[in-house]
Structure 1
Amino acid sequence: MKLPWKPWRSATRAWRSTSNMTLNPLPSAAVPGVTFEARRPAQVAPLRTDIALFIGTAPRGPVGLPVRVPGWRAYEAVFGGLSPSSDMGHAVKGYFSNGGEILWVLRLAPAAQPATGLWPLIADGGYAPAVLGVDTLRVLAATPGTWGRRLSVRPAYRVRSDGQGMIDLDVYDNGQLAERLAGIEPGDLSAAVAEHSSLIRVDPEPGSPPLPATAGAGPRTRSWEPVHLGGGSDGSTPSRSDYAAALLVAVEEQEPALLVLPDLHRHLGEGDAAAVILGAARFADRRLDLLVVADAPEQVETGAEARAWIARFGNDPAVHRAVATYHPWIDMHDPIGTPAAPLRRLGPGGHVAGAISRLDRALGAYVTPANASLNDCIDLARRPPPYEQGRLSALGLNALRCQSARGVVVWGGRMTRSDDGRPRFVAHRRLIHRLVRALRRAWAPMVFEANDDGLRLAVARSATTLLLEAFHANILKGTRPEEAFRVVVDDTVNTPESREAGQIVCEIAIAPAIPMEFIHFRVGLSADGTVEFIET
């Protein structure tokens, strides 16, 4: 049993992004019963390939900071759930409905401001502890957005039996008690609220005069008028530069292996949206362990329209290596819809990413994420005729189809064909992603070792062991290991120049289980302490 650790009493069971602890029941050697010990949760696992990262807008939550979310209720608690002005909440719901387990979310909210309210300490002539410093404090919503207008705070002061003064804060959301912060030492008010509250922050109001000195210890109890928060803004519509800045932050997170941009086509025109996808593809291509799950523009229906959209990528091969596009858009039930508009239309990327995540955990990263039904889908926005669907598939726009008794089904597993190279497949790219992550974990401890034959042998042995496991699991083709892969670390790839530069190069060639050419990529241990992967 695991319970969320809550140092302060709370009227909600909302998950808080500031919580860093879990409780595990432990047997007691002295007294029968259940005891608890606080432990830090498990660290993130960069080897996993079933975890996605979404970039988009949300009603609330940290801005510009990736947050790890372990389920739909956690997303609701931190980012506010569904919103009529954003597709991300619906896409996240689709991700978890289709089997996604863990998700990272990066909220975009350019120029957004938090709701605030003033807390005058002595305006009514009453007492305030001098350690609070100034005569007016400002209460702010913990994150930007108009959502903070729902909040109000009821502060109170009391003296404990040992004579120590304490402040209690009751936080209300839409009139309902949402959080209770009890027993805060006045001198630690700002820090304690920031550490333990998921809803508010309290700071001195700039320019406020200092509290006057008071005689005596003050009353045993004291209460103030409720502080109602107002103002705040949700910010402006994210621009192409906002998405570019978010991508720079997102690619620094090593755990996510899938990247989804659910609001992209709502926020940007076709040209700017394509530029953002291209930028994401280049980042993912350099990492060699990240798949961009993209949506085509909603209006695309014919092969000619798809070709015109793909032409915006300028024949960049990074798109063919790093982007999988799914089409058409889908209609899903909208819990916040109206009787006249009960459905929500959005790109399928979030739902498909959830299916990829589910199949990854059940069957492995190397399995084609196709022929799988999507949950939480009512219908398709468009149904191209078969001859147009064939043209779309040839360009790498993976089809979604409605099938009897199965609903909406993913019916394609190709990468988006942005160049004239032969078709690439999602399963093969995901296999490379898995191998790169496993090899990076195996080789990272070898950095800074002596660059000699012993190190080369260790590198080759670890790579061969991993690839033999893949071969015996029928992930690679061939009847013998030498038909399935090659590992080269000899002098043909490790020249005297590379040794002098402090590098060791391992060349690996693999043959996936269906007929196709070898995929080559080089792995190098550099003198600066990094493990580098280069596809050839």
Structure 2
Amino acid sequence: MAVVNTSYPGVYVAEVPSGTRSITGVATSVTAFVGPTTRGPVDRAVTVDSYAGYERTFGGLGTPVGFAVRDYFANGGGQAVVVRVVSASAETAGFRQAGVEEGAARLDLRAANPGPWANTLRIDVDHDVADTSSTTRFNLSVTDPATSRQEVFRNLTTTPGPRFVVDVLAAESTFLRVVPPTGTAAIGRPLVTGEDTGYVVDEATADAALDGDDYNGEGFADAQRGIWALEHADPFTLLCVPPTDPAEGVDPTVLGVASQLCVTKRAVLIVDLPRGVLPADVPAAVAATELNGEAARNAAVFYPGLVQRDPTADGRTAEFASCGAVAGVIARTDATRGVWKAPAGVDASIAGGADLAVSLTDAENGRLNAIGVNCLRTFPGIGPVVWGARTMRGSDQLGDEYKYLPVRRLALHIESSLWRGTKWAVFEPNDEPLWSQLRLAVGSFMQGLFRQGAFQGTTPAEAYFVRCDKDTTTPEDVLAGRVNVLVGFAPVRPAEFVVLQIQQTTAAQA
């Protein structure tokens, strides 16, 4: 009870906290994409809310990630987290540099990030500043013809100060950076020119093919580079690593790291198989991913790839990874039905005019489904759809409790929501009042899921339970600073096989 200091006869009002706390469910379909892009910041997780946002930052199509992100938003995706990865050679040869000279004076500029995207940048410098007597002030503009975007920076200086060109470009420009001068030489006054004359240009070349070390090199985890840039990114629940070489697929070591990262982040890895794999070779291709054990609960493989037109190759058709489209279907299903609904069936259609690289028969579908491979099928009048919802522990031989993808994702959703929603309990007095508050908060959250149809059972007692009392938290736990909350739920499993029993009967028997 709140303490009220009384000093005069009258009525005193004090607000008393209710002690109840609510738990909000985390987002279920934020998808992370890792791999090469045509431009953009390197080794940094960037959140985009549309494909137009992706184009502005990372340059659109031209890489497997670009096509995957496009398919993701085309199929209902709502938010993406993108990490650009480049080869080690791009760190030295991947930048376009331009030196603007006037006699011995020189201003060395380079592209803000590697890639040939910067080879067409146009740089203009003038001295139309307020103080015309200044020999250190100038204006600089840079134009990107590919996107028609322009950046203009006025009253820059070549000496340290509030408008020091090095600091301003580093903080504000998405196109340029200043190459620090060697030794103690000062940055000279730039030449007034908008022509190529006066520029010393070192053009960037196309990025080399990536290998496993470019995603997960030595020291990358500590430096948060490559795939490890997701370590402190906004929460994501799906992860796509499109193959940079579709014929070879993703390096198994990269898939292994991605799978472990998904376990830590409570996310699901969507796995693509190499291009051109025939149905009979799928089991060997799945084994080659080397994803097994309990970590495989947080991974799902989809087959086959998608055949689409490639606008960057004069509209010729090519096979692309299906991970982006599948992630979009999952996001759409989450939004319309809930994370507990299997993202498969006639409603899980794949948009964007894509065809399937392989047309599967029912028998082939049955063999692949039994080993935990989710098939993409095309049916007359429906088009391409996702026709499977198992994790990579979904083989019939394993009998894993997380055989089905919606069951695993529901469990991860509950774990993440409770992990975030009960942090207030840390350092609270570990006694019955705290236990009661935890039971109420967690129970209210589970009741909300029950009302939405996330669990089996017709009553809450049949659907879930929440326990936090002297039986779950013993005196020894209290001395050790632990409070234990036991939560159980009965998930709704998908009706994967619908059996219709039909019998002939006579009119008299009817």
Q: Are the equivalent residues in 2 in contact too, given 1:141–1:201 (CA < 8 A)?
A: yes
Letter in 2 for 1:95: Y
Q: Are the equivalent residues in 2 in contact too, given 1:332–1:378 (CA < 8 A)?
A: yes
Letter in 2 for 1:291: V
Q: Are the equivalent residues in 2 in contact too, given 1:109–1:234 (CA < 8 A)?
A: no
Does residue 355 in structure 1 map to residue 335 in structure 2? no
1:274 to 252, 273, 281: 252
Distance 1:314 1:476, change over 3 A: closer
Equivalent positions of 1:344-423 (< 5 A) are 344-371=318-345, 372-417=348-393, 420-422=398-400
2:317 to 310, 333, 343: 343
Distance 1:489 1:359, change over 3 A: same
Larger relative contact order, structure 1 or 2 (CA cutoff 8 Å, min sep 6): 2
Distance 1:310 1:492, change over 3 A: farther
Distance (whole Å) between structure 2 residues aligned to residue 235 and residue 61 of structure 1:
13
Equivalent positions of 1:52-451 (< 5 A) are 52-83=31-62, 86-111=63-88, 112=90, 113-123=94-104, 135-160=105-130, 166-174=137-145, 178-186=149-157, 187=159, 188-207=164-183, 209-210=185-186, 223-224=192-193, 226=195, 227=199, 229-244=201-216, 245=220, 246-263=226-243, 266=246, 269=248, 273-287=251-265, 289-302=266-279, 305-306=282-283, 309-310=286-287, 313=290, 315-319=292-296, 321-338=297-314, 342-371=316-345, 372-417=348-393, 420-422=398-400, 424-451=403-430
Distance 1:228 1:393, change over 3 A: farther
What is the CA distance between 1:291 and its match in structure 2? 1.1
The structure whose Rg is larger is 2
SS at match of 2:410: helix
What is the CA distance between 1:46 and its match in structure 2? 8.9
Runs of 5+ unmatched residues, structure 1: 1-44, 124-134, 213-217, 517-536
What is the CA distance between 1:258 and its match in structure 2? 0.7
What is the CA distance between 1:223 and its match in structure 2? 1.9
Distance 1:235 1:336, change over 3 A: closer
**Partner of residue 126, structure 1:** none
Q: Are the equivalent residues in 2 in contact too, given 1:498–1:504 (CA < 8 A)?
A: yes
Q: Are the equivalent residues in 2 in contact too, given 1:373–1:410 (CA < 8 A)?
A: yes
What is the CA distance between 1:437 and its match in structure 2? 2.6
Deviations 1:234-263 (A, max 9, x none): 443222233234333324324211100112
Letter in 1 for 2:121: L
Distance (whole Å) between structure 1 residues aligned to residue 267 and residue 146 of structure 2:
44
Deviations 1:387-440 (A, max 9, x none): 121011111211111122332111111112377233621111221222223212
Letter in 2 for 1:140: R
Q: Are the equivalent residues in 2 in contact too, given 1:114–1:145 (CA < 8 A)?
A: yes
What is the CA distance between 1:276 and its match in structure 2? 2.6
1:462 to 437, 441, 456: 441
Distance 1:253 1:173, change over 3 A: closer
Q: Are the equivalent residues in 2 in contact too, given 1:170–1:177 (CA < 8 A)?
A: no
Letter in 2 for 1:116: Q
Q: Are the equivalent residues in 2 in contact too, given 1:333–1:376 (CA < 8 A)?
A: no
Q: Are the equivalent residues in 2 in contact too, given 1:87–1:263 (CA < 8 A)?
A: yes
Distance 1:361 1:208, change over 3 A: same
Q: Are the equivalent residues in 1 in contact too, given 2:374–2:389 (CA < 8 A)?
A: yes
Q: Are the equivalent residues in 2 in contact too, given 1:148–1:230 (CA < 8 A)?
A: no
Deviations 1:7-49 (A, max 9, x none): xxxxxxxxxxxxxxxxxxxxxxxxxxxxxxxxxxxxxx99211
Q: Are the equivalent residues in 2 in contact too, given 1:136–1:205 (CA < 8 A)?
A: no
SS at match of 2:374: strand
Further displaced range: 426-435 or 350-359? 426-435
Distance 1:335 1:72, change over 3 A: same
Q: Are the equivalent residues in 1 in contact too, given 2:256–2:291 (CA < 8 A)?
A: no
What is the CA distance between 1:312 and its match in structure 2? 5.2
Q: Are the equivalent residues in 2 in contact too, given 1:326–1:397 (CA < 8 A)?
A: yes
**Partner of residue 18, structure 2:** none
Give identity over the alignment, percent. 28
What is the CA distance between 1:293 and its match in structure 2? 1.3
2:462 to 483, 488, 504: 483
Distance (whole Å) between structure 2 residues aligned to residue 483 and residue 225 of structure 1:
75
Distance 1:79 1:177, change over 3 A: closer
Further displaced range: 430-439 or 109-118? 430-439
Distance (whole Å) between structure 2 residues aligned to residue 225 and residue 265 of structure 1:
40
Q: Greater strand percent: which structure?
A: 1
Distance (whole Å) between structure 2 residues aligned to residue 222 and residue 197 of structure 1:
20
What is the CA distance between 1:384 and its match in structure 2? 2.9
SS at match of 2:308: strand
Letter in 1 for 2:473: N
Letter in 2 for 1:160: A
Distance (whole Å) between structure 1 residues aligned to residue 132 and residue 422 of structure 2:
58
Q: TM-score, normalised by structure 2?
A: 0.80
Distance (whole Å) between structure 1 residues aligned to residue 146 and residue 364 of structure 2:
55
Distance (whole Å) between structure 2 residues aligned to residue 384 and residue 211 of structure 1:
65
Distance (whole Å) between structure 2 residues aligned to residue 382 and residue 501 of structure 1:
57
Q: Are the equivalent residues in 2 in contact too, given 1:331–1:379 (CA < 8 A)?
A: yes
Distance 1:138 1:148, change over 3 A: same
Q: Are the equivalent residues in 2 in contact too, given 1:59–1:234 (CA < 8 A)?
A: no
Distance (whole Å) between structure 2 residues aligned to residue 344 and residue 499 of structure 1:
61
Distance (whole Å) between structure 1 residues aligned to residue 360 and residue 148 of structure 2:
51
What is the CA distance between 1:183 and its match in structure 2? 1.9
Q: Are the equivalent residues in 1 in contact too, given 2:344–2:388 (CA < 8 A)?
A: yes
Runs of 5+ unmatched residues, structure 2: 1-23, 221-225, 496-510
Distance 1:119 1:46, change over 3 A: farther
Further displaced range: 381-390 or 230-239? 230-239
What is the CA distance between 1:108 and its match in structure 2? 1.0
Distance 1:264 1:316, change over 3 A: farther
Equivalent positions of 1:514-525 (< 5 A) are 514=493
Distance (whole Å) between structure 1 residues aligned to residue 477 and residue 465 of structure 2:
21
Q: Are the equivalent residues in 1 in contact too, given 2:83–2:227 (CA < 8 A)?
A: no
What is the CA distance between 1:459 and its match in structure 2? 1.6
